[in-house]
Amino acid sequence: MSDPLERLLPVSAIALGLAVATATVFFVLGGPTPEDPPPLRANPEVRLVVLVVFDQLRADLIARPEWREHFGQGGFRRLQDNGAWFTHCHYPYAITATGPGHAAMLSGASPSRTGIVNNEWYDRREKSEAYCAGESRFELVPAPPKADPGEVASTRTFKTAGSPRRMLVPTVADVLKTYTSGRGKVFGVSLKDRSALLPSGSGATTRPDGAFWFDGRFVTSTYYADAVPEWVATFNASGRADRDFGKDWVRHRPDLDYDKLAGPDDGEGEGSGIGQGRTFPHPMTGGKDKTGLPFTNPKAAGVKFYDALVNSPMGNELLLDFAKACIDAEQLGADDEPDLLTVSFSSNDLIGHTWGPDSHEVLDCTLRSDEILTRLLAHLDAKVGQGKYAILLTADHGICPLPEFAAKHPERYPDAAARSARRVPSKPMRDGAEKHLQAKFGPPRDGKATWIETVKPPYFYLDHARIKAKGLKAETMAEELAAWVRTYDGVAGAYTAAGLRESNLDAMMEKVRLAFHPDRSGDVYVVLQPYLLIGDPDKDNKLPTGTTHGAPQPYDTHVPLLVYGPGVKGGPRAEAVTPLHAAPIAAKFLGVPPPPAAMYTLPKTLQE
């Protein structure tokens, strides 16, 4: 892969009228100083661009013929048949997680540029964990309510509240705000905070009109506003979030053979959710007898219900209703000034983590997601008008199959590596690595026991201060650590910062390089062999259940990219693309240049 800088669009580095922070981005990327932007083209054909994200929607989940034949005509099939369906869409970088994915989509940039190297990472300066979408200086809006008389005192605290300020580059949202002098509206909505705010603007010079996420009710933070708009307050007061309390989650299509289409209902390795059990039907109370306070008190009656709600397809239903309320109340797409809305459905991810991608639950959620998309498109048809809006649909990452399932089902996972799928404990690796470093370099001079400051998978962070105090070099120790880790059972590779600076990187190293930021990433990046998951046993020696993502393997990198709008010819595309292509595509629909850090131009099949 050639240097992505070579693929920057020249126009995106010439005309952006962004302020000092963005000018710095231009300087770092080697582009010219931005000038005043040219006027937006008059009466753009598209009045509203909607980025739709189904968190953890692996590409094959909407491509499997046996699943796709049960979709309706108005959802996934409408976009696949009447829009551009890019079937070979992969993330180009290694850490496939929610934060990096949502930061990449509309910035068009990898974590090496956005700085969003994971959902959380270790901040060496602060000696603490940094969250990709929050800062301690801000508070939730509306503020969490106090416990009612008789409730257990709150034990949950919020260390951070939503903010995109850790994002280092602008997004299409920032460009739109600049080019329209703020008149083009931008909103981001999701069940997760990071999914709502990262695509909707970096905060360097502009801010969206709103970013809202679910915390027992829909909230924002004082970074954005001191109060939520009236329509948000009305939605929260309507009791919509409590509608599904006490209703079991049952199969949406009881006429279908879920065992044949997916796997067993009680598959080995599956979890049980939030008091929901491993098999259908799943109770929707969170094990409590009433709803109650939002997520301020984990011992209060209603908290577990809201956790269960988002861990079911009903969480997506709730977000759909909220997104429709946003479209209506804010009159998105109602005038000739183009608007941008990002809608990220998070329940798919939580369900997939719990029961795995080959479960009855994920099949059911995917069928329901198709209907949710159908209703969203119908609402846009009615409120904005066909031909006046554009849809970009993708996912932030895929998902690893349950190791227990992958090892026994070659018909679903024919890769020979899947036969060795298993869970790998991490503690022996860390303990063995520290023991090796002390045998090689001796103990730290201050008498403390570890050269390894912390481990935030997939990174080892070394203690640079202790290394320097003993007259050693961090790069030398990192290379020694990487060499030892490479010998550990289950490890496919270990990479250091120095190694990533070399030329002629192989494909895996290039993926790791694009995920690496020198100020935020660790000293050694570890890649496990395919289909292996980190899973330490508990005190009773029981292995964890469920699955996760984050690896540079195809099951985690392969996601859909569907593009629907005026001038787009329908049908599958074999062209290799990435979700980062969403940035130039969205910019084209909006009539503005791509953001300055964007790594890709328009796909060739959209230039025809």
Using one digit for the tens of pLDDT, what is the confidence trace for 430-473? 999 999 999 999 999 777 689 999 999 999 999 999 999 999 99
Judge whether 411 lies within some domain: no
Q: How far is 113 from 28, CA to CA, in rounded Å?
A: 10
Backbone angle region of 546, left / alpha / beta, with phi > 0 → left and psi within -120 to 50 → alpha: left
Residues 601 and 518 in one domain: no
Q: How far is 312 from 273, CA to CA, in rounded Å?
A: 9
Average pLDDT over residues 271-276: 93
Beta bridge partners of 186: 340
pLDDT band (50, 70, 90) for residue 89: very high
Please give the C-alpha separations between residue 456 and each of 39, 396, 462, in angstroms, as whole numbers. 46, 20, 11
Average pLDDT over residues 31-55: 69
Q: What's the pLDDT score for residue 37? A: 54
- Whether 477 and 441 have beta carbons less than 8 Å apart is answered as yes
Q: How far is 282 from 276, CA to CA, in rounded Å?
A: 5
pLDDT band (50, 70, 90) for residue 58: very high
Q: What's the pLDDT score for residue 6? A: 28
| Angle in degrees, 0-180, between the axes of helices 347-355 and 313-329, rounded to the nearest 10 | 170
Closest CA to 402 of 414, 418, 417: 418
Domain harbouring 488, CATH code:
3.30.1360.150
Q: pLDDT tens digit string along 550-590?
A: 999 999 999 999 999 999 999 999 999 999 999 999 999 99
- Whether 566 and 454 have beta carbons less than 8 Å apart is answered as no
- Whether 59 and 40 have beta carbons less than 8 Å apart is answered as no
Judge whether 415 lies within some domain: no
Q: How far is 353 from 158, CA to CA, in rounded Å?
A: 24
Helices and strands in the chain, H and E counts: 21, 20
How far is residue 61 CA from its own chain's centroid?
A: 17
Residues 266 and 190 in one domain: yes
Average pLDDT of the chain is: 89
Domain harbouring 572, CATH code:
3.40.720.10
Closest CA to 196 of 176, 223, 175, 168: 223
Q: 289-294 contacts: CB < 8 A, separation 24 or more?
A: 290/245, 291/242, 291/245, 292/148, 292/151, 293/144, 293/145, 293/147, 293/148, 293/151, 293/216, 294/144, 294/145, 294/215, 294/216, 294/217
3-state secondary structure 346-396: CHHHHHHHHHCCCCHHHHHHHHHHHHHHHHHHHHHHHHCCCCCEEEEEECC
Structural domain boundaries, residue 523: 422-534
- Whether 212 and 201 have beta carbons less than 8 Å apart is answered as no
The order of strands in the sheet holding 186-190 is: 140-141, 218-221, 210-214, 186-190, 339-345, 48-54, 389-394, 561-564, 84-89, 571-577
Please give the C-alpha separations between residue 606 and each of 15, 188, 234, in angstroms, as whole numbers. 23, 26, 41
Q: How far is 319 from 212, CA to CA, in rounded Å?
A: 10
8 C-beta neighbours (distance < 10 Å), count? 22
Average pLDDT over residues 246-255: 96
Q: What's the pLDDT score for residue 204? A: 77
Q: pLDDT tens digit string along 481-503?
A: 999 999 999 999 999 999 999 88
Residues 280 and 197 in one domain: yes
Judge whether 211 lies within some domain: yes
Residues 96 and 152 in one domain: yes
Residues 178 and 275 in one domain: yes
Q: What's the pLDDT score for residue 159? A: 67
Q: What's the pLDDT score for residue 39? A: 52
- What percent of the chain is modeled with pLDDT above 90? 80
- Whether 356 and 262 have beta carbons less than 8 Å apart is answered as no
Encoded amino acid at 154, one letter: S
Q: Which two tokens stand for residue 432?
A: 């063995």
Which of 506, 534, 562 is at the close of a domain? 534
Q: Whole-model pTM above 0.85?
A: yes
Which of 534, 568, 590 is at the close of a domain? 534
Residues 358 and 470 in one domain: no
Residues 6+ apart with CB under 8 A from 107: 113, 114, 167, 169, 170, 171, 172, 202, 580, 583, 595, 597, 598
Q: pLDDT tens digit string along 160-208?
A: 889 999 999 999 999 999 999 999 999 999 999 999 999 999 887 889 9
Residues 458 and 365 in one domain: no
Residues 437 and 468 in one domain: yes
Judge whether 540 lies within some domain: no
- Whether 580 and 592 have beta carbons less than 8 Å apart is answered as no
pLDDT band (50, 70, 90) for residue 256: very high
Judge whether 42 lies within some domain: yes
Q: Which two tokens stand for residue 568?
A: 């787009």
How long a stretch of residues is the chain?
608
Residues 560 and 436 in one domain: no
**Bigger pLDDT: 332 vs 160:** 332
Q: Which two tokens stand for residue 206?
A: 């502009």
Residues 489 and 561 in one domain: no
Closest CA to 526 of 556, 559, 492, 550: 492
Residues 383 and 439 in one domain: no
Beta bridge partners of 188: 211, 342
Judge whether 52 lies within some domain: yes
Give backbone dihedrals phi and psi of 52, rounded to 5 degrees, phi first. Answer: -105, 125
Residues 523 and 560 in one domain: no
Judge whether 407 lies within some domain: no
Please give the C-alpha separations between residue 46 and each of 383, 566, 592, in angstroms, as whole numbers. 13, 8, 12
- What percent of the chain is modeled with pLDDT above 70? 87
Q: What's the pLDDT score for residue 35? A: 46
- Whether 570 and 83 have beta carbons less than 8 Å apart is answered as yes
Domain count, the chain: 2
Judge whether 545 lies within some domain: no
Q: How far is 265 from 361, CA to CA, in rounded Å?
A: 8
Q: How far is 362 from 57, CA to CA, in rounded Å?
A: 10
How far is residue 354 CA from its own chain's centroid?
A: 17
